Chain A
Amino acid sequence: MEGSEEKMQEVILEARGINKSFHDPVTVQVLRDITFTVNKGEFVSVIGKSGCGKSTLLYILSTMDTDYTGELYIDAELMSGRPDPELARIRNEKIGFVFQFHYLLNEFTVLRNVMLPGLKLGRYSEQEVEHRAMERLKMLGIDHLAKQSAYRISGGEKQRVAIARALVNDPHIIMGDEPTGNLDKRNSDIVFNIFKELTEVHNQTLLIVTHDTEFAENSHRIIEMEDGRIIRQ
């Protein structure tokens, strides 16, 4: 932690003293004084037992959950206390998501699903977004599925499409909540190798919540949590 500043590496994400409590039905503090940083190009996995607060932490870091105390910086900008539309824009631009469930829109084709965040960002024309989406799909080896409807492809393929979608806007960080949780061994390995390649070849920052210890051990850095605290990082 103290080493991060000395290395003068670019800090992508920083959490300072984050606390969160659930108040329903009784007040339970789920996160206690969480402080850590993630540098550019790091592949960080967060592990811990069920209920230790790791997913809760991820949703705070992703700016989707704003009900917490403490400070969150993404790309050296303070996220805490910003209004919802602004956070939505930041999520769109700077954060890519991969969840346990793929959350593809069944009504659209694979390509369209990947393009969606790019179209929302509006930085590129539709043709360019399409081109970029195709590049991502190609990189993940699923470009042959581009014109398929999203509900026609297999589970492993869906997760790869979700990763492509997370990548389309060149986010500063990709956050994953058990991205291999629903996959068999073979597909888990494919997804893991994709992550590995992203971070090593493309210098992509990754923050992945998982309970798959094998997955975690192969990543660069492990943050272990227990009862709402970081016990090892």
Chain B
Amino acid sequence: MLLARWRQTLVAAVGVTFSIAMFITLLGFMNGLNDLLDGLILNRTPHVRLYNEIKPSENQPVNVSGQYKDSYNFISSVKAGISRQEIYNSGPILQAVKDDERVLGATPKLLAQVFYNEGTIEITGVINGVDVEEESRLFNFQDYVTSGNPIDAKNVANSIILGKALAEILVADIGDVVQVTTAQGERFPLKVVGYFQSGIQEIDKVQSYASIATTQKLLGKPANYMTDIQVKLYDLEQAPAVAREYAQLFQIDAEDIQTANAQFETGSSVRSLISYAVGITLLIVAGFGIFNILNMMIYEKMDSIAILKATGFSGRDVNLVFVVIAMSIGLFGGMLGLVFGFLFSLVIDNIPFNTSALPTITTYPVNYDPMYYFIGGVFSLVTTYFAGFFPARKASKVDPVEIIRGK
């Protein structure tokens, strides 16, 4: 029966193939983009960040005082007390965090507010003092250093890796020396050893990187001075729990990645949702195609169904035949679809995609998660089953007497 209507069957199968291929391509591409955009932020963001926030004390003296215990105390213009940005007892905390078995790694960070001097103009900026090796290992630092060698920041004394946009403003080539002025008013010459490009122009305009030692020197602080400890966990999902635990354990402020970047999660899930919706719509349309073709097939094959029933095939057998036809359309169409989807993904993966904002990306990103192929395959079978189910039931109810008498 399949052979008789091979042309239409082919069309139906092509419909399934097309929709599955698009489903796979769409999901792969969408999620590739998602991963890329998430990676832009998430890969470089510590899962848990330990820091010391400058904020007013929650226990203002008037509340502590026994004398005013029974009264409402209104305090306005509360100021932060004498508190340091520095993490107290940083060495032992860092060691304790590193020893935690949930932690992939932890690296200190030191933020320094500076002015870059370009002739008479001063440009505000931030120098991130980082442990270059750990930063590269945990947060892919090397991917964002587009020219120069990141390790030079550590090996060359008094060196800096400038944000690309900032370097353009300062007209600083690699090997040049730029002058920076710290917030304390001290002037410092730093040698440019590389350019840093994050993909976010605003960041590249203000951010620069230097080794932690250089930054400490810049600020005139001792070697244990650090403002942040960045923690990367094995499992991202544990971040909120770990953050809470550390905050309590070390009496410190801890921020997890989910809180810091909630909007990225939302963006990703909405994008996936859209691609799933489009893919499923395509499949349902293909399902209707199969439904139509099988329905027509039944009208055309009325005689055959009648004689099959007359010669002893029960309604169930006839039903089975049509469901099998539908499912085989789904199976072959779906499998071809998966192959084509993979090929389309490969094609997209090889289309050049150069943008100054994303230095590490040269082609369009594609995600090849086998899960999408699995979902696509299952879905092609499910839709074709339902598309075949109703025509098959109709075929199984054909009354052979009516057909044969009608002749």
A residues bordering B, Cβ < 8 Å? 55, 59, 62, 64-65, 84-85, 88-93, 97, 99-101, 103-107, 116-117, 120-121, 165, 177
Contacts and interface: CB of A to CB of B under 8 A. Distances in A.
A103 B312 contact: no
Interface in B301-318: 303-304, 306-317
Given A99-B407, A107-B1, A64 B312 contact: no
B407 A120 contact: no
Interface string B23-64: 000000000000000000000000000000000000000000
Contacts of A177: 404
A222 B403 CA distance: 27
A103 B316 contact: no
A116 B304 CA distance: 12
The size class of the interface chain B forms with chain A is 20 to 34
Contact of B317 (A59, A65, A101, A120): A120
B400 interface: yes
Contact of B311 (A65, A84, A100, A116): A116
Contact of B313 (A64, A92, A101): A92
Contacts of B307: 97, 103-105
Interface in B293-337: 303-304, 306-317
B400 A89 contact: no
B4 interface: yes
B404 A106 contact: no
B10 to A, nearest CB: 16
A120 B313 contact: yes
A97 B308 CA distance: 11
Contacts of A105: 304, 307
Contact of B405 (A55, A90, A92, A97): A55
Contact of A103 (B3, B306, B315, B401): B306
Given A65-B401, A100-B407, A106-B4, A121 B304 contact: no
A64 B311 contact: no
A120 B309 CA distance: 11
A90 to B, nearest CB: 8
B107 to A, nearest CB: 71
Contacts of A64: 309-310, 399-401
A91 B401 contact: no
Contacts of A85: 314-316
A64 to B, nearest CB: 5
B4 A91 contact: no
A92 B304 CA distance: 15
A59 B314 contact: no
Contacts of B401: 59, 64-65
A117 B311 contact: yes
B189 to A, nearest CB: 88
Given A99-B407, A103-B303, A105-B307, A121 B3 contact: no
B311 A101 contact: no
Given A59-B401, A59-B405, A91 B311 contact: yes
Given A64-B399, A64-B401, A97-B311, 9 more contacts: A64-B310, A85-B314, A85-B316, A88-B313, A88-B314, A91-B310, A91-B312, A101-B407, A103-B404
- Looking at B1, B306, B309, B311, the one whose CB has the most chain A CB atoms below 10 A away is B311
25 contacts: A62-B310, A64-B399, A64-B400, A84-B315, A85-B314, A85-B315, A88-B313, A88-B315, A89-B314, A92-B311, A92-B313, A99-B310, A99-B404, A99-B407, A101-B303, A101-B404, A103-B307, A103-B310, A103-B404, A104-B307, A107-B4, A116-B311, A120-B312, A165-B311, A177-B404
A22 B176 CA distance: 104
A92 B306 CA distance: 13
B289 to A, nearest CB: 22
Contacts of B4: 106-107
A84 B401 CA distance: 14
Contacts of A88: 309, 312-315, 317
A229 to B, nearest CB: 20
A161 to B, nearest CB: 12
Interface in B359-407: 399-401, 404-405, 407
User: Which are the 6 A-B pairs with shortest beta-carbon distances?
Assistant: A92-B312, A88-B314, A103-B307, A85-B314, A117-B311, A91-B312
A170 B306 CA distance: 21
A118 B1 CA distance: 19
Nearest to B301: A105
Nearest to B318: A88
B309 to A, nearest CB: 7
A100 B404 CA distance: 9
Nearest to A92: B312
A91 B404 CA distance: 16
B304 A89 contact: no
Contacts of A120: 311-313, 317
A107 B3 contact: yes
A105 B407 CA distance: 16
A204 B266 CA distance: 78
A55 to B, nearest CB: 6
A217 B250 CA distance: 112
B306 A117 contact: no
A91 B316 CA distance: 15
Nearest to B309: A88
B312 A93 contact: yes
B310 A84 contact: no
